[in-house]
Amino acid sequence: MLGLTSTRTVARRTIRVVGSRESGMAQVAMVKPFSSLSCGLQASQRILPCARRLAASPSASLSLAPLHPRRHLFTSPLRWNTTAEKPAETPQPEVLATYTGPMAATFYRLKLFSLGSLTLASAFTPVFLLAASDLSLAGRLGLSATAIVTSVVSTALVAWIGKPYVGRMSLMPAPADGKGQEPIIEAYTITWRIRTLQTRIYQPSLIRPTSRPFASWELPENPGGVFHLPQSSSGDGSGANEDRILVSETFDAKSGKVVGKWWAERVAGTASNSGKGAQGEFKEEARCFAEGKPVRHFQVHEELLGEEWRILG
């Protein structure tokens, strides 16, 4: 009975699964059944070693791929094109000397405060007139008018006092585009609307002392006798005239828009032999006029200017 049971067991297909830890593969060994049932226990003892040898034999094993193979995802870092050419930097103009107004911040805050008070007074006047109050309509109108007039007068006074004040100023060498043979002065002022204006003075020799209060320099309408003025142009083709030259230009510092220009025009037949310059140039009369609204007056603390500013005379 034991032999018969062993024979039936051996007669069945025996599957051995040998797991390989290194390759992760499964090896299945297939063993053919025996047809003879008379071997008994002796046959079963012979079959088991044979089955082991068949399982260990490479020719008798069937290799199958794993059910869930590993997937390897390879990623490469994103590389930006860093070889692009950088834009060429604009060369900064050479500066011979600089000046900073000691009260520039004070005037800025004062103008800002006066403009803010005027805005608030104008905005709250309708509210004050329409709000319920024990005052009569005439009384409210009087108070509103007083507040607005006071704000307007104070704002205008601060704007007039601080208009020529120069916050900062630079002295640069004469350009090579023919605008003048003298060093150029760049002065920055602030309007009553807190807008910065940049004024370039191409002919510093035409700067004169001024009688205007709260200002020290001006570009006068009649500068008097001056030496031969060089030919100059405004850059747009309108100044290529030997009888007039561009003295200064005023720009909006934020937008670059030209606000105004100051021209000097020669007066014909006014050359004088009595006023010869160092290079043999004769003095002649000049008359100046405005195009647009250029800045003409400047408030500068002359005691703070260094030796480089001697060009002003």
Mean pLDDT of 242-271: 86
In this predicted model, which residue has the larger pLDDT, 131 or 148?
Answer: 148
Q: How many helices (H) and strands (E) does the chain have?
A: 4, 14
Whole-number average pLDDT of the chain? 73
Under 8 Å CB-to-CB from 242, ≥6 apart: which residues?
231, 266
pLDDT at 303: 92
Calculate the alpha carbon distances from 151 to 16, 116, 144, 246 in Å.
104, 9, 11, 38
d(CA 35, CA 293) in angstroms, rounded, equals 122
* In the chain, % of residues over pLDDT 90: 39
- Residue 98 forms beta bridges with which residues? 170
d(CA 294, CA 257) in angstroms, rounded, equals 12
Most confident range (mean pLDDT) of 81-85, 279-283, 303-307 is 303-307
pLDDT at 244: 82
pLDDT at residue 41 above 80?
A: no
Whole-prediction pTM: 0.63
In this predicted model, which residue has the larger pLDDT, 290 or 138?
Answer: 290
The answer to whether the CB of 205 falls within 8 A of the CB of 225 is: no
Instruction: Categorize the per-residue pLDDT at 223 as very low, low, confident or very high, splitting at 50, 70 and 90.
Output: confident
Mean pLDDT of 268-291: 65
Task: State the Rg of the chain over Cα.
Answer: 49
Instruction: Categorize the per-residue pLDDT at 23 as very low, low, confident or very high, splitting at 50, 70 and 90.
Output: very low
Q: Give tens-digit pLDDT for 55-114.
A: 565 544 444 444 555 555 545 455 555 455 555 555 566 888 999 999 999 999 999 999
* In the chain, % of residues over pLDDT 70: 57
Dihedral (CA of 251, 252, 255, 257) sign:
negative
Q: Give tens-digit pLDDT for 230-240.
A: 544 444 444 44
φ, ψ of residue 162 in degrees (nearest 5): -90, 0
Listed residue (150, 153, 148, 158) closest to 191, CA to CA: 158
Q: Give tens-digit pLDDT for 111-141.
A: 999 999 999 999 988 888 888 778 888 888 8
Mean pLDDT of 190-210: 93
Q: Give tens-digit pLDDT for 163-181.
A: 999 999 999 988 766 544 6
The answer to whether the CB of 121 falls within 8 A of the CB of 113 is: no
Judged by average pLDDT, the poorest of 96-100, 183-187, 229-233, 291-295 is: 229-233
